[in-house]
Structure 1
Amino acid sequence: MSSQPNQSLIDGIRCLQYLVSSGRAIGCRELARLMGINTTRVNRLLMTMASIGLTMQDEQRRYLPGPGIHALAAQSIRGSALFSQALPLLERHAPKDIVVAMGVLWEDQVIYIWHSAPGTQMSQALAGFHMLPAWQSVIGMALLAAESDEDLMARFTPEQWQQLGPHIHQQREQGYVVWHHDDGEVSMAQPLGAHSAALAFAGMWQVDEARIRSRRDELQLLAGLLTRKS
C-alpha cells in the first residue's frame, strides 16, 4: 500500500477551505487561480462536494458553502478539546479592555477561532475575524517559529522575512512574541502547547514597558489556564 499523501484529498480540503474563507460566492476560475491548480480539477472537486452537501451553487453558478459545512462546523466544535476547554475560559477571563485573539495556522494563514474587542459579545468573538497572512499576525509569528529559518525564507519574500525574522527569533528565545507596530500599537502572542494554536493580546496603544510587562504576565497566566489539563 502506498504511503504517499492522497493529492486528490489534499486538493479537495484546500478547495473547501478557500471557498469557506472567501466569505462570498466564488466561481471555479477564480478559485483555481487562488489555489494555483487547473480549473477543470477545481470544478470536478466542487461538483463532487456538492453531491454530499458540502457546496452549493447560486443563480450565477458560483459556489457557496453548503449545509454540510454547518454540520461539520458543529461537529468540529463539539469534538475539539481546544474549543471545549478554551471558549468558556476566554469568555470568563479574557481582558475586556483590549483585543484578545486565539488562532491556528493553516497554509501560512492565521484562522481566528476567537477574536474579541472591547464591547463585543461572545457570539461576535467566536470566529469573529477574517484570515490574515501569517507574517502580518503576531499569532502567525509565534506559530511559525516552530519551523526552520531555511523553510520559512523559502516561502516568504525578503520584505516579509524582514518583519518576521526578529519576532521568530524572539519566540524561540523567550517563548512569546511582543510586536511594537510602527503606528504605536503593541501586540503579543504565546503558543498554546500541543494545540498548534496561539493566544494573543492586541489593541494596546502607546503603552510603556511596565504596562507591557504587566500585560505579558496576564497573557501567560491566561495561556496557562487554557492549556491546563482538567
Structure 2
Amino acid sequence: MNETIPGTQAIRRAVALLKAFDDDHPAWSLSELAREMGLNKTTAYRLLSALEREGLLGRAPDERYVLGPEIVVLGGRALRANNLRAVARPELERLAEETRETASLEILSGHEMLVIDEIVGGHLMSGVPDLGSRWPLHASSTGLAVLAFRPDTDELLPRVLTPVTPATLTGRVPLRAELACIRARGYSIADETLEHGLIALAAPIYDHDGRVVAALSVAGPKLRLTAECVPTIGDGVRAAAEHVSARLGYRR
C-alpha cells in the first residue's frame, strides 16, 4: 500500500524549481518560473520564498531569482564526498569480478596516464598490480580513451610519438583515425600497443564540468580477450565509466 508522505509534493516542487536553474536559464522571474513549472503564482512564490530564506536561492539586481550561496556550499560538500577513487571502486570491483581480468582506474597526469587504483583479475595469469605506473597516452587504452574525448588532443601529445611496441600508433593521421573510431564506439581498444600479447579496453570518465579527467580499463592476455568477447567487455567498461561520471555530477 503506497501512502503519500506529508509534504512530499511540496518537496518535489521545490526540487523541480531548483533544477530549473541551469546554464541556459541562470535567472528567472516569478511569473516565468510559475509558468515553466505549471504552478500558480501564489504557490510558486511560497516555495521560492522558503528556498530564499534557506539561502538556496537569491535575488539578482533586477529582482529575478538566482541560485543562492548555500547551493555552492552543498555542491562543494558533494564534490568532496564524491572522491574519484572511492566513487570508482565499486565499478572496478564489478568489472574485475565479471571479467576475471585486471580492472584499473587511471587519471590524466601531465602527458601520461597514472594508475591510481587497480584490482587484479581472478585468473592465475593476471599480472601484478601497477599502482603508480605511468603509461604514454598514445600507447595505452586509457590514454587513447582520454585523447578521443578531449578537445586539446594535440596539446597533450608529445611532438614525437615514440613506439612502445610494433603495434603502437606513431603517425598523427592513423592516430586521428583511431580516435574517431573510439568516439563512435564509446571505448578504446589497445591491441598490443602497450605490451606484446596484451589487450586493454578503456572508456573515459567525466567530471561535473564535463571534462574528461580519467578512464576505466580492463586488460588481459590476447588469448583470453578474443575478438568475440571484446564488444561485450567494451560495452561493460563504457557503462561502468558512465556510472562513475554520473556519480561525479556529470550530465550530458
Please tell me whether the aligned partners of residues 88 and 105 of structure 2 are also in contact (alpha carbons under 8 angstroms). Answer: no
> Which of these residues, 178, 185, 202, is aligned with residue 189 of structure 2?
178
Which residue does 1:84 correspond to in 2?
Answer: 86
Q: Which has the higher contact order (CA 8 A, sep 6+)?
A: 2
Which residue does 1:198 correspond to in 2?
Answer: 215
Q: Deviations over 1:158-200 (max 9, x none)?
A: 5553374443232233322112216343211110122511111
Cα distance between partner residues in 2 of 1:110 and 1:104: 6
Q: Deviations over 1:17-71 (max 9, x none)?
A: xxxxxxxxxxxxxxxxxxxxxxxxxxxxxxxxxxxxxxxxxxxxxxxxxxxxxxx
Matched ranges for 1:93-112 at <5 A? 93-96=94-97, 97-112=100-115
3-state SS, counterpart of residue 156 of structure 1: coil
Does 2:225 align with 1:225?
Answer: no
Cα distance between partner residues in 2 of 1:82 and 1:225: 12
TM-score scaled to structure 1, two decimals? 0.53
3-state SS, counterpart of residue 201 of structure 2: strand
Any unmatched runs of 5+ in structure 1?
Answer: 1-77
3-state SS, counterpart of residue 147 of structure 1: coil
Cα distance between partner residues in 2 of 1:133 and 1:202: 16
Cα distance between partner residues in 1 of 2:119 and 2:183: 27
Which residue does 1:214 correspond to in 2?
Answer: 232
Cα distance between partner residues in 2 of 1:175 and 1:107: 23
Please tell me whether the aligned partners of residues 176 and 188 of structure 1 are also in contact (alpha carbons under 8 angstroms). Answer: yes
Please tell me whether the aligned partners of residues 108 and 140 of structure 1 are also in contact (alpha carbons under 8 angstroms). Answer: no
3-state SS, counterpart of residue 146 of structure 2: helix
AA matched with 2:151: E
Moved over 6 A (4+): none
3-state SS, counterpart of residue 219 of structure 2: strand
Which residue does 1:147 correspond to in 2?
Answer: 151
Structure 1 pair 113–152 and aligned structure 2 pair: CA distance change class (3 A): closer
TM-score scaled to structure 2, two decimals? 0.49
Cα distance between partner residues in 2 of 1:196 and 1:167: 20
Cα distance between partner residues in 1 of 2:203 and 2:142: 7
Cα distance between partner residues in 2 of 1:87 and 1:226: 9
Aligned residues, how many? 148
Structure 1 pair 100–196 and aligned structure 2 pair: CA distance change class (3 A): same
Structure 1 pair 102–167 and aligned structure 2 pair: CA distance change class (3 A): farther
Larger Rg: 2
Cα distance between partner residues in 2 of 1:203 and 1:118: 9
Structure 1 pair 166–185 and aligned structure 2 pair: CA distance change class (3 A): farther
Which residue does 1:35 correspond to in 2?
Answer: none
AA matched with 1:202: A
Cα distance between partner residues in 2 of 1:149 and 1:84: 28
Please tell me whether the aligned partners of residues 101 and 200 of structure 1 are also in contact (alpha carbons under 8 angstroms). Answer: yes
Which residue does 2:43 correspond to in 1?
Answer: none
The range that moved more, 156-165 or 183-192, is 156-165
Structure 1 pair 147–170 and aligned structure 2 pair: CA distance change class (3 A): same
Matched ranges for 1:11-160 at <5 A? 81-91=83-93, 93-96=94-97, 97-119=100-122, 128-145=131-148, 146-148=150-152, 150-151=154-155, 155-157=158-160, 159=162
Give the number of the structure whose residues are more often helix, by fraction.
1
Q: Deviations over 1:200-220 (max 9, x none)?
A: 111142343221111112212
Any unmatched runs of 5+ in structure 2?
Answer: 1-79, 164-169
Cα deviation for residue 137 of structure 1 reads: 1.5
